[in-house]
Amino acid sequence: MKDNSEKSMHEALISVISVLKKLKEIIKTTDTNVLWSRFEYEEEVIGKLDDHMKKLHSYDFSKIWDLILLFAPTGSLQEISISSGWGNEYLTLASEFDTAINELKLYIK
């Protein structure tokens, strides 16, 4: 059985991945406009989210700060959400992400 800190880290990790999955689904199922982001195509955004999920699944936190920057206010993901018409939904996901990532940061160096 995992000790409490391992369990809490795993729960935070699963929460972050869950947010990324939800975000990926929104991007795939809406008319996504990436014009005001650093991405050229929606497939590039999806690929970046997939890369982050893959790293997190293998407990690779080497790009965690890149992921945090994607969710920063006026960052690429927020710009995409606003220009694509799902800004309010993004704010909910960003709040979930912030809670989960702050918990996860307690366990990583």
> What is residue 99's predicted lDDT score, i.e. its pLDDT?
96
Give yes or no for residue 1 having a pLDDT over 70.
no
Contact between 48 and 40 (Cβ < 8 Å) = no
CB atoms within 10 A of CB 108: 12
* Count helices and strands in the chain by DSSP H and E runs: 5, 0
State the pLDDT confidence band at 2, using cuts at 50, 70 and 90. low
Per-residue pLDDT at 24: 97
Does the pLDDT at position 7 exceed 90? Answer: no
8 A C-beta contact, residue 23 and residue 53: no
Report the pLDDT averaged over residues 62-90. Answer: 95
Cα 63 to Cα 58: distance, rounded to the nearest angstrom: 12
Reported pTM: 0.91
Distance CA 89, CA 98 (A): 14
